[in-house]
Structure 1
């Protein structure tokens, strides 16, 4: 392992080119002002294990542990793959602010229709593109893709849909046509990890400094696609069950892979649950035709259920929008509304408990003064 070159704060350019190829930019550079020692090195998290992290400065990679004070809020955030950190040798002393983060509600509600996640799970940070990967087999599901799009939009990220396993069909274009009815304005690429069909346009998302992450079901072909894009097998792959049409979790970690195209790619384990955690306009972005029609409804608070003069219901009756599409819209709106209400109640409870603690301290001080 070579000498780690310092690029912190003072404007030294020893390793600036290598860092920029990993996504370092002025946003992260500005965070070094006034908080950086010559002993601190900027590096990017390229892998996370239970008690350690793999970090890289673009020239070398090494393992690091997290400073104890960062393990508990509010002193810092726990690093995830894609984060930029400052390290003192093999200890991460600071996690820099993120440009964005792909997050969801933590898993554990599978098979519980009325259950909602109780905590946030950050999947990856500082991304330029999120590849929503869907196989052209039994994995193809418009409702699931709608949820993925809503999840990505809620995080303020740019989705791109990859339809894998194109080699299974002579003409996959009917799938594209069907998908275009729900994925407005989203780039769609039909690809095959088996024979490399359609992969060349993906190089544009993996240019130097660009970071993309893959999300999709197990068995959708994510790891096979990574291997084909890389040019050799670097990720384990597995077969899909012919009986149930589902894949196995061959990818068990989130590693940031430096690609030959110059950019970086994160191959995530398959997601069984697409649970939301925040609402940042994801439904509006994923269902623009319904939102646009809603503005023409007779009543401003129209729920698009049975109200007279509802432009959305008129579109349903005219066949302009499918009922399944509207049902999906309603389901996600209810889910996000309930989640927002519960989080607000939790925030109010936390604030109430904080004021209760302050009140108890004040009473204790008064009692102490009386007893003097």
Structure 2
């Protein structure tokens, strides 16, 4: 083997090793080999700004822009934090297929209960775990945790619940018990960034090559948690507001941070609206006890509202399930049905318009033959 070839091989192995620290895997390598030639190189999106992106190849990080087609072609994936992209000369030409993605209905309903999102917002891609971060101050909300879990399950992702600000409560363990009544089988961790209590429990999520992201309301303590896990301040934080007893919103962008433990964290701005975009199995996983009881209902299509022989309503009467729990289930079930109906009606409309165009062409052809 020539010296030049040996150097090229060594460089390639070193390059792949650098990428693997960012989560590069055979999944992405296969797509790269099948879709692209050697002139384009992979990089991971580690920062999202208004008109540009920070990308990393392990040993170097730089600013990049997107090729024009990504701005104009609807069927192209647009880069988000955590994506693997193909690029050259600081220009992103394409996004590699995602292993998974955390997405929701785009915000902007402005509190209108019956308003539904009309487009998808992808929050982060290629994840191993999603932390639901909830502060033990006025931020604590069981119903919100339910919605977060349903959102995560809809996306086919693995959740873990992080209860921050444990030092604010005399008996913080009671909050763990509350959460466990709605988060079956989900790890629940009580932490305090103030005195580092419980932070060692989170180390396993940050093993080399693993990526997690965090969702929760503004001021829940996400950025403070990142700083304490990192060992120094890498994300801006705000003081707790004395007026409302909650932390203040500080994170305004989505950044992938490589942690000293070897894993990566994508910090996100606080989420005010947890609107669903996809309804693929999230309800069944978020409400397993209700789904289990539904198999004992008299009717297979029982809505668990007023039907006779409904095992779920019986459980409600007997105190096996709380009224708040079943109401939350019904509310999210209605949202999922709306999403399903909207997609079905949209596909029907597309099909109808396609056949209408065919009919017009046939009619025009007949007219030409008649004139001829």
Taking structure 2 as the reference length, the TM-score comes to 0.92
CA distance in structure 2 between the aligned counterparts of 1:78 and 1:67, rounded to whole angstroms: 10
* Match in the other structure for 2:71: 71
Give how far 1:36 is off.
2.3
* Match in the other structure for 1:92: 92
How well do the aligned residues superpose, as a CA RMSD in angstroms?
Answer: 2.3
* Match in the other structure for 1:4: none
Identify if the C-alpha distance between structure 1 residues 183 and 80 changes in structure 2 by more than 3 Å, giving closer, same or farther: same
Is 1:120 the equivalent of 2:114?
no
Are the aligned partners of 1:214 and 1:222 in contact in 2 as well (CA < 8 Å)?
Answer: yes
* Match in the other structure for 1:278: 278
CA distance in structure 2 between the aligned counterparts of 1:278 and 1:9, rounded to whole angstroms: 44
CA distance in structure 2 between the aligned counterparts of 1:148 and 1:106, rounded to whole angstroms: 15
Are the aligned partners of 1:191 and 1:199 in contact in 2 as well (CA < 8 Å)?
Answer: yes
Partner SS for 1:196: coil
Identify if the C-alpha distance between structure 1 residues 17 and 237 changes in structure 2 by more than 3 Å, giving closer, same or farther: same
* Match in the other structure for 2:157: 157
Structure 1 segment 1-372 matched on structure 2, within 5 A? 12-74=12-74, 76-357=76-357
Give how far 1:300 is off.
1.0
Partner SS for 1:343: helix
- 1:69-111 CA deviation, whole Å, 9 max, x = no partner? 1223355211100000111121111210001000000001131
CA distance in structure 2 between the aligned counterparts of 1:27 and 1:184, rounded to whole angstroms: 30
* Match in the other structure for 1:5: none
Give how far 1:200 is off.
0.6
Are the aligned partners of 1:40 and 1:89 in contact in 2 as well (CA < 8 Å)?
Answer: no
Are the aligned partners of 1:164 and 1:220 in contact in 2 as well (CA < 8 Å)?
Answer: yes
* Match in the other structure for 1:3: none
Identify if the C-alpha distance between structure 1 residues 358 and 18 changes in structure 2 by more than 3 Å, giving closer, same or farther: farther
Give how far 1:317 is off.
1.4
- 1:105-125 CA deviation, whole Å, 9 max, x = no partner? 000113101111011000000
CA distance in structure 2 between the aligned counterparts of 1:68 and 1:370, rounded to whole angstroms: 47
Partner SS for 2:47: strand
Deviates more, 1:250-259 or 1:38-47: 38-47
CA distance in structure 1 between the aligned counterparts of 2:58 and 2:358, rounded to whole angstroms: 48
- 1:207-258 CA deviation, whole Å, 9 max, x = no partner? 1110000000011000111110111111111123333344432100000001
CA distance in structure 2 between the aligned counterparts of 1:60 and 1:360, rounded to whole angstroms: 57
Partner SS for 1:273: coil
Give how far 1:350 is off.
3.1
CA distance in structure 2 between the aligned counterparts of 1:50 and 1:341, rounded to whole angstroms: 34
Identify if the C-alpha distance between structure 1 residues 35 and 308 changes in structure 2 by more than 3 Å, giving closer, same or farther: closer
Partner SS for 1:42: strand
CA distance in structure 2 between the aligned counterparts of 1:356 and 1:118, rounded to whole angstroms: 25
Partner SS for 2:114: coil
Aligned residues: 365
CA distance in structure 2 between the aligned counterparts of 1:30 and 1:348, rounded to whole angstroms: 35
Give how far 1:158 is off.
0.2
Are the aligned partners of 2:162 and 2:190 in contact in 1 as well (CA < 8 Å)?
Answer: yes
Are the aligned partners of 2:103 and 2:124 in contact in 1 as well (CA < 8 Å)?
Answer: yes
Identify if the C-alpha distance between structure 1 residues 151 and 9 changes in structure 2 by more than 3 Å, giving closer, same or farther: farther
Give how far 1:344 is off.
2.0
Taking structure 1 as the reference length, the TM-score comes to 0.92
CA distance in structure 2 between the aligned counterparts of 1:371 and 1:13, rounded to whole angstroms: 71
Give how far 1:355 is off.
4.3
Identify if the C-alpha distance between structure 1 residues 44 and 359 changes in structure 2 by more than 3 Å, giving closer, same or farther: farther
